[in-house]
């Protein structure tokens, strides 16, 4: 790139797969990326832009003149084009759309009208649709003659004259059937057509549950508008799992290509909330400062009770959040699962109470202290189990994402209960 | 079920999709599940067993006589059959295999010989393979006449007489091509054949990266032995993400259908490790017990420093573990990412140092205490950033899964450093 050797670049980078080209882009510096795109010219495969983070994508697209972006988008499948367009600002997007041919503009604009992260946004608007009265032979001939087919497809759809969806046929079914058979005889009714407004996560769940290779996307009048393919589903499944992991870790939508400032800012809020809850826990400790002054061993031991509760609460919460996401947990079995978690908490609580009780008794040569910490441990493990399951359930019930905020709430409960149970019990016990 | 009304059950449950039947099984009690399978008889779709947790699957299969299991397996695709067989104990497995027809037994046994979670285990051994010199017409005629085809497929493979893999053709390509064309003219070379020993996660990554609908699985002599389809990939992607989430939450391979005892035991180890590290942190506090006795405010404030560090460390760790999993992080950019995380830690460290410094100064009316906690906060946030990135990197470098154990190590570091920095600094500062 440094040598601006365009011919060499085209030769080595041209034949790469889009995802490999994405890897190359990711490992280049800011200026080098733009130089690469410029030097490759028409040989650059813009699909690679869908393989990199938003920050990298924007830096490349923003540096290109809108004319060139429009030219690039024409080469892409509609879902990839939408993917690139949706991150641009309003003005650029309008200008680019205006430069596209009428039909493509219409298609892209329609996709962009659907809400973010909906099936309508992610669908591909190129698909093969035939009338039900065609024969298998006619259909095969049509596919042999027609130039304007999608790049690849696994299913063809059957529609009536108003484009209302009637059914679908898998390609292997067509290949196994003799030419005179009518399409309507071999099609299956698509019971799983997806309304375009459906959230992408829900759409992916449908495709995944029924092991479909692709699913029809329909508008509110049940007309076929696009197709959601299984490779989109993989991306969605991965994106949603990723989102859950990040939210549970308190890092929001951060990407590794974000600048230091962006990343620091996105983590700031979570840390601020944590500061507030940590101060709350400190206030609880503050109540018992006189007791601690009399018996410093309490200060030494108190983080153990809080930490064990925090860990047990996180375990329960992880199971609960995942069970909610995979729909293994619903109101029908919530009671049973709550009972289960409380029992697990009680069981492990008792085991660790005995352990820490013995350790504390020996360490400070004080059996009473061992008894106090043992009781506090059982109490906090039970609180952890209850908080770990009830908080995500409540958040889910009120429409919030349980992955995003359960963690802080749960550890707040286990810190507060842990310190209060241990110090309060000690204050009462040793005062008696 | 209570009424043992087999006819009614067959009528209502028979037409359900396998995944819906799986949901039904999940919501039934232990005895009811077995009764349902018994009452449905031949109408029971055993594919549903691949949709439920291992514990439920085993409870159903173990209750069935081996004859009946063998009968059921014959109806399934080979990958589903392997999925059920692999959980059974050695003896049952042998007995069931012995009852199967020769060809199926051979196929299943070969799949079972590959290591767990390998491509060979997950592959389907039914596929369509044709020689390269066939024409499109011949191929279509073959598919129309042949009875013994897989239930559905998206690709056919091209092999030489020794079954060595030459290439593959997508079905849409066949449908678009005229009958006289030779298969070898339209096939693409499969650059992405997957050796059967490959780990399933790696295999899924290949299919996903190149957006394939299915990929050929080959043995060590490059002969085609099976096909890995994209719906397997979705299951694998989900399973692996799930595994990461669970491991980060410290709940191992627990499933929500596990008994209380199993779950409690599987969480025990993690809690035990946490107890050890919590005691380690307590030992650090114990070193400074004289200082705490003189100044109880230290005991009140010290959990704040530790907790903030723990949270910041978890954030960094989450980003690092995910970047390692998605291969966005490797030795080429590790240096840059470490620098980035240290900068983020420093930035947020300074911000929160100022905040907590002011709070502590006002709360205890002691500016010196505010200064001490502020400095300790910066130190611990930096330690958190370093631990959050270096620990997963090191674990990954030594071949361990960074998701499974990073959490404990990171919070151990932030607890120890947090308490030591705050209490040590205070002891020195107020002694001077």
**pLDDT tens per residue, range A329-386:** 777 778 888 898 999 999 999 999 999 999 999 999 999 999 999 999 999 999 999 9
pLDDT band at B369 (very low <50, low <70, confident <90, very high): very high
Chain B residue closest in CA terms to A345:
B264
CATH class for the domain made up of B6-117: mainly alpha
pLDDT of residue A77: 79
Chain A residue closest in CA terms to B27:
A333
Q: Which pLDDT tens digit goes with each residue over A154-194?
A: 888 999 888 888 888 888 888 888 888 898 888 887 767 88
List of chain B residues whose C-beta atoms are within 8 Å of the C-beta of residue A210? 17, 19
Question: Which architecture characterizes domain A129-235 according to CATH?
Answer: Roll (3.10)
Question: Do the Cβ atoms of B275 and A304 come within 8 Å?
Answer: yes
Chain B: nearest CA to A307, how far in angstroms?
7
- The CATH number corresponding to A6-115 among 1.25.60.10, 1.10.150.120, 3.40.50.300, 3.40.190.10 equals 1.25.60.10
Q: Which pLDDT tens digit goes with each residue over B224-267?
A: 888 888 777 877 877 777 777 788 777 777 777 778 888 888 88
CA A252 to each of CA A243, A244, A256, A258, B427: distance values in angstroms, whole numbers, following the listed order: 8, 9, 12, 12, 38
Question: Do the Cβ atoms of B347 and A282 come within 8 Å?
Answer: no
pLDDT of residue A155: 85
Question: Do the Cβ atoms of A319 and B256 come within 8 Å?
Answer: yes
Chain A: nearest CA to B432, how far in angstroms?
22
- Rounded Cα distance between A187 and A129, Å, is 12
Of B175, B278, B326, the CB nearest to A307: B278
**Token pair of B204 as six digits:** 């899924």
- Rounded Cα distance between B207 and A146, Å, is 29
Question: Do the Cβ atoms of A343 and B19 come within 8 Å?
Answer: no
Chain A residue closest in CA terms to B17:
A210
Of A245, A274, A300, the CB nearest to B285: A300
pLDDT band at B388 (very low <50, low <70, confident <90, very high): very high
List of chain B residues whose C-beta atoms are within 8 Å of the C-beta of residue A281? 303-304, 307
Residue range B36-60: mean pLDDT, rounded: 76
Question: Do the Cβ atoms of A300 and B281 come within 8 Å?
Answer: no
List of chain A residues whose C-beta atoms are within 8 Å of the C-beta of residue B250? 311, 314-315, 318
In chain A, helix, strand, coil percent, each to 5?
70, 10, 25
pLDDT surpasses 80 at B45: no
Question: Do the Cβ atoms of A19 and B210 come within 8 Å?
Answer: yes
The helix (run of H) or strand (run of E) holding residue A57 is helix A54-63
Chain A residue closest in CA terms to B204:
A234
Which residues have a Cβ under 8 Å from the Cβ of B40 and sit 6 or more positions away? B6, B9, B10, B13, B14
Question: Do the Cβ atoms of B238 and A242 come within 8 Å?
Answer: no
pLDDT of residue B356: 94
List of chain B residues whose C-beta atoms are within 8 Å of the C-beta of residue A237? 234, 237-238, 241
pLDDT of residue A1: 62
Chain B: nearest CA to A90, how far in angstroms?
30
Of B278, B292, B301, the CB nearest to A304: B278
CATH 3.40.50.720 fits domain A260-431: no
DSSP A327: T
- Rounded Cα distance between B243 and B189, Å, is 34
pLDDT of residue A426: 93
Question: Do the Cβ atoms of A231 and B211 come within 8 Å?
Answer: yes
Q: Which of A218-222, B78-82, B309-313 has the lowest mean pLDDT?
A: B78-82
Task: Tell me the count of A-B CB pairs closer than 8 A.
Answer: 280
List of chain A residues whose C-beta atoms are within 8 Å of the C-beta of residue B279? 304, 359
Tell me the β-bridge partners of B135. Answer: B182
- Residue, of B86 and A2, whose pLDDT is higher: B86
Query: ipTM, 2 decimals?
Result: 0.71
Of B249, B301, B352, the CB nearest to A315: B249
What is the average pLDDT score of chain B?
A: 84
Chain A: nearest CA to B130, how far in angstroms?
14
Q: Which pLDDT tens digit goes with each residue over B191-225?
A: 678 888 888 888 888 887 777 778 888 888 888 88
Chain A residue closest in CA terms to B231:
A211
Task: Give Cα B177 to chain centroid, integer Å.
Answer: 40
Tell me the β-bridge partners of B215. Answer: B228
Tell me the β-bridge partners of A156. Answer: A169
Residue range B341-367: mean pLDDT, rounded: 93
List of chain B residues whose C-beta atoms are within 8 Å of the C-beta of residue A249? 248, 314-315, 317-319
The domain B129-249: what is its CATH number?
3.10.580.10
Question: Do the Cβ atoms of A209 and B19 come within 8 Å?
Answer: yes
Chain B: nearest CA to A36, how far in angstroms?
19
pLDDT of residue B3: 63
Disruptive mutation site among B127, B278, B366 for chain A (greatest number of A CBs within 10 Å): B278
pLDDT of residue A64: 79
pLDDT of residue A108: 83
Question: Do the Cβ atoms of B311 and A270 come within 8 Å?
Answer: yes
- Rounded Cα distance between B6 and B29, Å, is 18
Question: Do the Cβ atoms of A343 and B260 come within 8 Å?
Answer: yes
List of chain B residues whose C-beta atoms are within 8 Å of the C-beta of residue A414? none
3-class secondary structure for chain B? Answer: CCCCCHHHHHHHHCCCCHHHHHHHHHHCCHHHHHHHHHHHHHHCCHHHHHHCCHHHHHHHHHHCCHHHHHHHHHCCCHHHHHHHHCCCCHHHHHHHHHCCCHHHHHHHHHHHHCCCCEHHHHCECCCCEECCCCEHHHHHHHHHHCCCCCCCCCEEEEECCCCEEEEEEEHHHHHHCCCCCEHHHHCECCCCCEECCCEHHHHHHHHHHCCCCEEEEECCCCEEEEEEEHHHHHHHHHHHHHHHHHHHHCCCCCCCCCCHHHHHHHHHHHHHHHHHHHHHHHHHHHHCHHHHHHCCHHHHHHHHHHHHHHHHHHHHHHHHHHHHHCCCCCCCCHHHHHHHHHHHHHHHHHHHHHHHHHHHHHHCCCHHHHHHHHHHHHHHHHHHHHHHHHHHHHHHHCCCCHHHHHHHHHHHHHHHHHHHHHHHHHHHHHHC
List of chain A residues whose C-beta atoms are within 8 Å of the C-beta of residue B19? 209-210
- Rounded Cα distance between B275 and A311, Å, is 10
Chain B residue closest in CA terms to A262:
B344
List of chain B residues whose C-beta atoms are within 8 Å of the C-beta of residue A268? 348, 351
Domain ranges of chain A: 6-115, 129-235, 260-431
pLDDT band at B28 (very low <50, low <70, confident <90, very high): confident
**Token pair of B373 as six digits:** 């906690």
> Which residue numbers in chain A have pLDDT < 70?
1-7, 9-10, 14, 191, 432
Longest dimension (CA), chain B: 95
Question: Do the Cβ atoms of A312 and B279 come within 8 Å?
Answer: no
Chain A residue closest in CA terms to B360:
A279
- Residue, of A191 and B426, whose pLDDT is higher: B426
Chain B: nearest CA to A351, how far in angstroms?
9
pLDDT surpasses 70 at B6: no
Chain A residue closest in CA terms to B330:
A27
Question: Do the Cβ atoms of A27 and B333 come within 8 Å?
Answer: yes
- Residue, of B147 and B319, whose pLDDT is higher: B319
């Amino acid at each position: 790139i440094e040598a601006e050797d365009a011919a060499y670049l085209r030769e080595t980078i041209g034949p790469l797969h889009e995802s490999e080209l994405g890897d190359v882009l990711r490992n280049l510096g800011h200026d080098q990326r733009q130089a690469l795109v410029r030097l490759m010219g028409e040989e650059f495969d813009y699909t690679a832009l869908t393989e990199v983070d938003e920050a990298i994508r924007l830096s490349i697209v923003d540096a290109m003149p809108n004319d060139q972006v429009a030219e690039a988008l024409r080469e892409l499948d509609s879902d990839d084009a939408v993917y690139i367009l949706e991150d641009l600002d309003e003005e650029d997007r309008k200008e680019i759309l205006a430069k596209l041919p009428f039909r493509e503009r219409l298609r892209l604009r329609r996709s962009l009208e659907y809400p973010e992260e909906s099936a309508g946004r992610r669908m591909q608007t190129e698909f093969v649709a035939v009338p039900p009265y065609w024969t298998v032979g006619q259909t095969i001939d049509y596919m042999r003659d027609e130039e304007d087919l999608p790049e690849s497809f696994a299913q063809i759809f059957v529609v009536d004259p108003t484009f209302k969806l009637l059914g679908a046929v898998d390609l292997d079914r067509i290949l196994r059937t003799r030419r005179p058979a009518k399409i309507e005889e071999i099609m299956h009714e698509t019971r799983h057509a997806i309304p375009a407004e459906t959230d992408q996560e829900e759409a992916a769940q449908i495709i995944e549950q029924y092991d479909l290779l692709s699913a029809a996307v329909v508008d509110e009048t049940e007309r076929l508008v696009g197709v959601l393919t299984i490779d989109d589903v993989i991306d969605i499944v991965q994106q949603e799992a990723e989102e859950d992991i990040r939210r549970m870790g308190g890092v929001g939508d951060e990407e590794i290509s974000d600048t230091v400032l962006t990343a620091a800012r996105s983590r700031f809020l979570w840390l601020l909330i944590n500061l507030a809850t940590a101060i709350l826990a400190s206030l609880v400790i503050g109540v018992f400062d006189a007791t601690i002054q009399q018996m410093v061993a309490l200060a030494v031991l108190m983080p153990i009770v809080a930490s064990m509760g925090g860990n047990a609460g996180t375990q329960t919460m992880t199971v609960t959040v995942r069970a909610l996401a995979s729909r293994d947990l619903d109101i029908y079995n919530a009671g049973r699962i709550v009972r289960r978690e409380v029992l697990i908490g009680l069981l492990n609580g008792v085991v660790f109470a005995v352990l820490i009780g013995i350790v504390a008794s020996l360490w400070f040569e004080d059996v009473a202290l061992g008894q106090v910490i043992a009781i506090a441990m059982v109490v906090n493990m039970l609180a952890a189990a209850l908080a770990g399951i009830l908080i995500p359930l409540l958040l889910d019930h009120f429409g919030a994402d349980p992955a995003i905020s359960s963690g802080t709430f749960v550890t707040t409960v286990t810190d507060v209960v842990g310190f209060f149970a241990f110090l309060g019990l000690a204050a009462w016990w040793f005062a008696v």
